[in-house]
Amino acid sequence: MSQTPSSAPASRGPADHNVRDQIVEAAGEHFSHYGYEKTTVSDLAKAIGFSKAYIYKFFDSKQAIGEAICAKTLCAIVAAVEEAVAGAATPTEKLRRMFKTLVSTGVSLFFNDRKLYDIAAYSAGEGWPSARAYCERIRQILTEIVREGRESGEFERKTPLDETVHAIDLVMQPYVNPLLLQYNLDVAEEAPAQLSNLVLRSLAP
Amino acid sequence: MSQTPSSAPASRGPADHNVRDQIVEAAGEHFSHYGYEKTTVSDLAKAIGFSKAYIYKFFDSKQAIGEAICAKTLCAIVAAVEEAVAGAATPTEKLRRMFKTLVSTGVSLFFNDRKLYDIAAYSAGEGWPSARAYCERIRQILTEIVREGRESGEFERKTPLDETVHAIDLVMQPYVNPLLLQYNLDVAEEAPAQLSNLVLRSLAP
DNA sequence: CGAGTGACTATTATGGCATTTAGTCACCCC
DNA sequence: GGGGTGACTAAATGCCATAATAGTCACTCG
């Protein structure tokens, strides 16, 4: 609907700087408490004891700050998924845990940190780089699992890898993408198990 | 968000009556041209040459009229699907055509009759009976295909029928439900084929 | 020179008031 | 008596002036 920043990370000044971190921290708290819209850039400035103008030495726009927070939020989901996957023995189990953790973490974010969830959903809707990177990362994890399963002979190898991964990605998308997940909350409890089973059946050698 | 008519069709007076049909016809045209919100009940009354009050002898509310139009729209999709399925020889082919037709009809509605599409999406979001019935019907068609495939030995029979059908239904949902489909337009071209393949692999005996 | 800012503008949100609209009801009249 | 309606109300909606906000820039001061 509005301008789509195709890929620019939209940040300025030194990439690692004390003040930049302060801004991100303050933004994290304010966005989480009051939401993205109700937080003004002046609020953030006041919180860290600088002027609003100084914030713009570090970020291109308010949206850029939003993206930073969004990226942090989505990274937390990825981390949870990675941990769950790492703790599984077989590719089959990895896929199950991946799907389950993805959904439960997302749902939990929805109910426990709704304001941050809304930013993530908005970000997904607008195709912000943070959301794109997240989807891309999920897909990578999925690819790794499928590859491993193929190598160990647990999964079939006839279908081209790309095609397999892409199809599973399409199946997961409604639960990965925060914009879509919120419309699927009513089946979020059962979907991971049901769909994991279906996907695993399709992966049988 | 608002009141959810759990199952009442919300209509009054004689079920088949000339004037009722006139109302539905006028509503179809007006909603399609100007949209649901921009059409007033008085507009419809004027269009058929009666007073607004008389309309309420046939419909409980404006929403009830919306539901009638919505049901008509969704029935057209179902009809297209049924026709496509009927023209296929094998259950495999039926499933492919079902998915493909479902998506292409939905997408076509989105681009060619956006105003009616919006009503359908809203209806799905609010859980109107018309939308529920539509989803239920799609599920029935799917069940029939899977059952037939099992009987002919084309599909596996180990997994409980309900479970199989439910899982496939979950896969299709993002493309069946107008509320969700509009967020998946970017993959609507490829998804039916990719997902049909995945589902069929999962159905292999 | 570079960390930091007040003062400014163009755009966007807000809030309160006038208008519309959904829905009802008593009533008409063929 | 049943097909049909004008007049009415409460709630929703649109509208517009006003206030708030994102973002910039020339500037200061150490």
Tell me whether B182 touches chain A (CB under 8 Å).
no
Do the chains contact at A173 and B171, CB–CB below 8 Å? no
**Is the Cα dihedral B165, B166, B170, B175 positive or negative?**
positive
A179 CA vs C20 C1’ separation (Å): 34
pTM summary value: 0.90
Q: Which two tokens stand for residue B3?
A: 């009141």
Q: A36 with A76, same domain?
A: no
Q: A91 with A33, same domain?
A: no
Tell me whether A16 touches chain B (CB under 8 Å).
no
Within 8 A by CB and 6+ apart from B121, the residues are B178, B179, B181, B182
Q: B22 with B97, same domain?
A: no
3-class DSSP assignment, residue B190: coil
A109 located within any domain: yes
Nearest CA in chain A to B178: A183
Q: A87 with A161, same domain?
A: yes
Within 8 A by CB and 6+ apart from B35, the residues are B115, B118
Do the chains contact at B197 and A167, CB–CB below 8 Å? yes
Q: A99 with A196, same domain?
A: yes
B203 CA vs D15 C1’ separation (Å): 59
User: pLDDT in tens for each of the 205 residues of chain A?
Assistant: 333 333 344 566 566 678 899 999 999 999 999 999 999 999 999 999 999 999 999 999 999 999 999 999 999 999 999 999 999 999 999 999 999 999 999 999 999 999 999 999 999 999 899 999 999 999 999 999 999 999 999 999 999 999 999 999 999 999 999 999 999 999 999 999 999 999 999 999 9
Instruction: Assess contact for B139 and B110: CB atoms under 8 A.
Output: no
CATH number, domain of B47, equals: 1.10.10.60
- d(Cα A108, Cα B157) in Å, to the nearest integer? 36
Tell me whether A163 touches chain B (CB under 8 Å).
yes
CATH number, domain of A176, equals: 1.10.357.10
Q: A41 with A78, same domain?
A: no
Domain's final residue, options A42, A59, A76: A59
Q: A165 with A194, same domain?
A: yes
Q: B85 with B68, same domain?
A: yes
Backbone angles phi, psi at B11, to 5 degrees: -140, 160
State the nearest Cα–Cα gap between A144 and chain B, in angstroms: 18
Other C-beta atoms lying within 10 Å of the C-beta of residue B131 = 24
pLDDT in tens, B140-173: 999 999 999 999 999 999 999 999 999 999 999 9
Nucleotide nearest to B52 (CA to C1'): D5
Instruction: Assess contact for A106 and A134: CB atoms under 8 A.
Output: no
B77 located within any domain: yes
Containing structural domain, residue A26 = 18-59
A136 CA vs D24 C1’ separation (Å): 35
Tell me whether B156 touches chain A (CB under 8 Å).
yes
A86 located within any domain: yes
Q: Which two tokens stand for residue B139?
A: 């599920």
Do the chains contact at A156 and B201, CB–CB below 8 Å? yes
A10 located within any domain: no
Count the domains in chain A. 2
Q: B97 with B76, same domain?
A: yes
Q: A52 with A144, same domain?
A: no
Residue of B170, B199, B200 to mutate, testing the A interface (most A Cβ within 10 Å of its Cβ): B170
The closest CB to that of A198, out of B173, B179, B202, belongs to B202
Tell me whether A103 touches chain B (CB under 8 Å).
no
Q: B76 with B34, same domain?
A: no
pLDDT in tens, B22-41: 999 999 999 999 999 999 99
A6 located within any domain: no
A191 located within any domain: yes
Q: B82 with B147, same domain?
A: yes
Do the chains contact at A198 and B174, CB–CB below 8 Å? no
A52 located within any domain: yes
B10 located within any domain: no
